[in-house]
Amino acid sequence: MKISIVLPIYNEAENIPILYKELVSVLNREKVAYEIIAVNDASEDNSLKVLKDIAIKDKNVKVINFRFNSGQTAAMSAGIKYATGDVIIPMDADLQNDPADIPKFLFKLAEGHDVVSGWRLNRQDKVIMRKIPSKVANWLIRGITGVKVHDYGCSMKAYKRDSIQGVQLYGEMHRFIPAYLAWHGGRVAEIVVNHRPRVHGVTKYGISRTFKVLLDLIVVKFLSRYMNRPMHFFGGLGFVSLGLGVLAGLTAIILKILHLRDFVSTPLPVFSALLIIVGVQLAAMGVIAEMLMRVYYESQDKAPYRIAETINFQV
């Protein structure tokens, strides 16, 4: 068995050498073949130089360097695409994920699961800015997807290679892979992992990321449930729109009959219709735009990133 560790990296120069030593120690102790794929997401610090220095000494370390900052999901997608291991384990490079948990992931996969998701039960982050938004987001994701994973936001997960091949990732969608695989017959498990406080550097993600994740969740749900029958989705919105329109019209008529309000003296008919139409149009435009984006990338075999160079990859 070969293990592929995928590390999306953005401004983690101080953490990289420490993480590398921890990973090598754990992987050698497990006596498995491995590769460490570090994806430098156009870091502005010394991360790329640190990675190159390590890669020169250790051919098991492979480096992908992006020309421009493309985001964590794009970096993870590139690492997964280039991975050659039987098991792929993405994790953060900020030292908050603990490499010592890798054996637990491997053991759980060996039980027959396709994906094992980490659960940061004792999360070492700020309560207001990170923990509370995360709990709310996870509660919503569980409710919408129906897949009972406690911590979708934990980057440290383990996938069997054959289960994740062909999965296209956009936006912030790497966190929804367990739900996606579960919808397609995959067996999903979860284990508690050690979450360590950040020592070097600063977090790259704030509370605004929660809203982006929730927007991506709407797209994921649409693509998984309505991709082959979009009329059910748009038709449902149409019925809701029609119902609200009829209700608003009836209310205006009743007010007129009871001599309480003339049509011209209340904005109810026009105002309600305008808000409903605009809301439906915006939702439809958003979903259609997402579909067009996927057609653009996938029909031309494009990716939402560009690689400037690769190190230690066989041509």
CATH number at residue 64: 3.90.550.10
Question: In angstroms, rounded to a whole number, what is the distance separating the alpha carbons of residues 61 and 63?
Answer: 7
What's the confidence (pLDDT) of residue 299?
76
> Would residue 293 count as lying in a domain?
yes
Point out the domain boundary residue: 186, 205, 225.
Answer: 225
- The closest alpha carbon to 190, from 179, 206, 198, 200, belongs to 179
Do 178 and 102 fall within a single domain?
yes
> Would residue 310 count as lying in a domain?
no
Do 161 and 260 fall within a single domain?
no
> Would residue 109 count as lying in a domain?
yes
Question: In angstroms, rounded to a whole number, what is the distance separating the alpha carbons of residues 252 and 268?
Answer: 7
Do 170 and 247 fall within a single domain?
no
Q: What is the pTM of this model?
A: 0.74
Do 55 and 184 fall within a single domain?
yes
Do 141 and 244 fall within a single domain?
no
- The closest alpha carbon to 96, from 13, 198, 165, 26, belongs to 198
> Would residue 313 count as lying in a domain?
no
What's the confidence (pLDDT) of residue 142?
79
Burial class (CB in 10 A: 0-12, 13-18, 19+), 139: exposed
> Would residue 311 count as lying in a domain?
no
Query: φ and ψ at 193, to 5 degrees?
Result: -120, 160
Give the count of domains, the chain.
2
Strand partners, 189: 116
The neighbour count for residue 87, using CB atoms within 10 Å, is 22
H helix and E strand count, the chain: 10, 8
Domain of 234 in residue numbering reads as 230-299
Point out the domain boundary residue: 179, 195, 225.
Answer: 225
Do 217 and 235 fall within a single domain?
no
Do 219 and 263 fall within a single domain?
no
Largest CA distance in the chain: 87
Question: In angstroms, rounded to a whole number, what is the distance separating the alpha carbons of residues 74 and 231?
Answer: 31
Pairing of strands 157-160, 87-90: antiparallel
First to last CA, the chain: 22
Provide CB contacts within 8 A for 31, sequence distance 6+: none
Do 97 and 212 fall within a single domain?
yes
> Would residue 309 count as lying in a domain?
no
Query: φ and ψ at 109, to 5 degrees?
Result: -60, -35
Burial class (CB in 10 A: 0-12, 13-18, 19+), 228: exposed
What's the confidence (pLDDT) of residue 210?
64
75 within 8 A of 303, measured Cβ to Cβ: no
Do 118 and 257 fall within a single domain?
no
Do 39 and 123 fall within a single domain?
yes
> Would residue 174 count as lying in a domain?
yes
What's the confidence (pLDDT) of residue 315?
56
Query: φ and ψ at 118, to 5 degrees?
Result: -80, 145
What's the confidence (pLDDT) of residue 207?
54
Which DSSP state fits 59? Answer: T
Do 292 and 147 fall within a single domain?
no
> Would residue 169 count as lying in a domain?
yes
What's the confidence (pLDDT) of residue 22?
95
Point out the domain boundary residue: 225, 253, 272.
Answer: 225
What's the confidence (pLDDT) of residue 246?
76
**For each successive 10 residues of the chain (315 residues), what is the average pLDDT?**
93 93 94 94 92 94 93 88 92 91 93 90 68 75 79 88 76 76 83 85 59 73 66 69 79 82 78 77 76 74 74 77
Do 152 and 16 fall within a single domain?
yes
